[in-house]
Amino acid sequence: MLTTAPRGTRDILPEEAAQWQYVESNIRQCCLLYGYGEIRPPLFEHTELFLRSVGETTDIVEKEMYTFRDRGGRNITLRPEATASTVRAYLEHNLYAGPQPVKMYYLGPMFRYDRPQAGRYRQFSQFGIEAIGTQDPTMDAEVISVALDFYCRLGLTGLEVQLNSIGCPKCRQDYRQALLNYLSQHRGQLCRTCLSRLDRNPLRVLDCKEEGCQAITADAPRMLTYLCSECDEHFKAVQECLQSIEAHYVINPALVRGLDYYTKTVFEIVWPGLGAQAAICGGGRYDGLIEECGGPSTPAVGFAMGLDRVLLAIQKAGAAVPAAKTPLAYVVALSAADNQEAFRILTRLRRADIISDKDYRQTSLRAQLKAADRSRARYAVLVGGIERTQGMVAVRNMTTGEQHEIPLDQLITFLQEGR
């Protein structure tokens, strides 16, 4: 137990972490381009926040939250998603009083007691954006476009954007009744969870992954035919915007999303190569959430993207990730007595921004040169011998084997020019 990480968690070791850093730097670049500033909310919140915003009949609240009482008796939950925190911060810091919309992104770990498998973990990473304070349909399209541009930068292709509208509380009321009538006729075939949610929130059944439930919902009434004129117009406008920027999508009339707070536009982006965990991004509009959390009525739209799945997708697709940087110089001590001087020179190189390293085994010259080779350093800097007494070092080009004696005070310039 002491030597294994808890179920559903894992270590990301340096080689893979380099891929994460590459993905994260693309996220930051994309958000800069699109004008989203970073928000870093806490990793835990009052449990109440998620009960209120995510919704009592969702998978997250019913069975996935890491909730505990802290030593002061507060009810705390490790964040299972970050839209709730972003909205809480928007209200706590009166961001509604400034220019609208407020556009923010977040990046970091989320916690859900999920059933671990490839692409599904108990601690996983999400990148999300939220644009709060506008109902402009171009904003719905912008949010989708941020996700697509990001995948494009990563060289990830073959994605499918699934789009739907789930209307507003007004038009959803009629739909809810129609769906409830339909599902009630098939109670016998629904799973236990769906049965228990049926009367409280029949839309949840559309999101169930059980085969039996999916067979029933395949023929269920569709929200799109119930949209009121305002929701219908909005949905059309979003589609026109997407078409105008050549963002391809398909309409999936069964898409409802797993969180209660959505209104109007909902979407999911799927990379089919990931099998059961193919959804790499989900989002939509949540015009009622800010008011639900005690703020002024404020429209908003955003997405959350599962980065573990994005990483799996680029690995599976073989999309190019830039190679890790190798050292420019590898400092080698000719004898044990030169080890400290080698270390001193190495430190000077690093202080001059030169990626460099040495061997720490206090081993033979041969073994050190082998290590220099393995590190794929461009130069070996040999410290010791007569050169040392003359204030010189020997610099060997590891590809050509060519070697120069250089005064120590010219080493940095030599290496920098050789770059």
Residue 121 sits in the site that holds ligand ATP (CB under 6 A): yes
Question: Residue 15: exposed, middle, or buried by beta-carbon count in 10 A (0-12, 13-18, 19+)?
Answer: exposed
Residue 124 sits in the site that holds ligand ATP (CB under 6 A): yes
Binding ligand ATP (rule: CB under 6 A), the pick from 39, 281, 377, 392 is 281
Query: Tokens representing 204?
Result: 């949840």
Looking at beta carbons only, is 133 or 282 nearer to ligand ATP? 282
Looking at beta carbons only, is 166 or 346 nearer to ligand ATP? 166
Which residues make beta-bridge pairs with 163?
251, 267
Looking at beta carbons only, is 303 or 379 nearer to ligand ATP? 303
Binding mask 287-316 for ligand ATP (x = CB under 6 A): -----------------x-x-xx-------
Looking at beta carbons only, is 116 or 385 nearer to ligand ATP? 116
Spatial separation of the C-alpha atoms in residues 136 and 251, rounded to whole Å: 20
The CB-of-12 to ligand ATP minimum distance in angstroms stands at 13
DSSP state of 61: I
Residue 310 to residues 11, 74, 195, 201: CA-CA distances in angstroms?
A: 17, 35, 34, 31
The CB-of-412 to ligand ATP minimum distance in angstroms stands at 46
Contact call for residues 67 and 77 (beta carbons, < 8 A): yes
Spatial separation of the C-alpha atoms in residues 173 and 221, rounded to whole Å: 13
Looking at beta carbons only, is 81 or 359 nearer to ligand ATP? 81
Report H helices in 35-124: 47-54, 59, 83-92
Cis peptide before 101 (omega within 30 of 0): yes
Q: Name 344's Cβ contacts closer than 8 Å, sequence gap at least 6.
A: none
Contact call for residues 127 and 105 (beta carbons, < 8 A): yes
The CB-of-214 to ligand ATP minimum distance in angstroms stands at 13
Binding ligand ATP (rule: CB under 6 A), the pick from 171, 205, 279, 395 is 279
Contact call for residues 263 and 286 (beta carbons, < 8 A): yes
Residue 109 sits in the site that holds ligand ATP (CB under 6 A): no
Residue 120 sits in the site that holds ligand ATP (CB under 6 A): yes
Q: Site residues for ligand ATP, window 322-341 (CB under 6 A)? A: none
Q: Name 132's Cβ contacts closer than 8 Å, sequence gap at least 6.
A: 86, 87, 90, 95, 96, 100, 101, 102, 103, 104, 290, 298, 299, 300
Looking at beta carbons only, is 280 or 328 nearer to ligand ATP? 280
The CB-of-306 to ligand ATP minimum distance in angstroms stands at 2
Rounded to 5 degrees, φ, ψ at 249 are: -150, 160
The CB-of-308 to ligand ATP minimum distance in angstroms stands at 5
Binding ligand ATP (rule: CB under 6 A), the pick from 52, 79, 112, 378 is 112
Residue 345 sits in the site that holds ligand ATP (CB under 6 A): no
Looking at beta carbons only, is 81 or 287 nearer to ligand ATP? 81
Helix (H) or strand (E) holding 38: strand 37-38
Q: Site residues for ligand ATP, window 75-94 (CB under 6 A)? A: 81
Q: Site residues for ligand ATP, window 215-274 (CB under 6 A)? A: 258
Q: Which stretch binds ligand ATP (CB under 6 A): 39-47, 119-127, 146-154, 188-196?
A: 119-127
Binding ligand ATP (rule: CB under 6 A), the pick from 168, 171, 280, 332 is 280
Question: Residue 165: exposed, middle, or buried by beta-carbon count in 10 A (0-12, 13-18, 19+)?
Answer: buried
Question: Interface with ligand ATP by CB under 6 A: which residues?
Answer: 81, 112, 114, 119-121, 124, 126, 258, 277, 279-282, 304, 306, 308-309
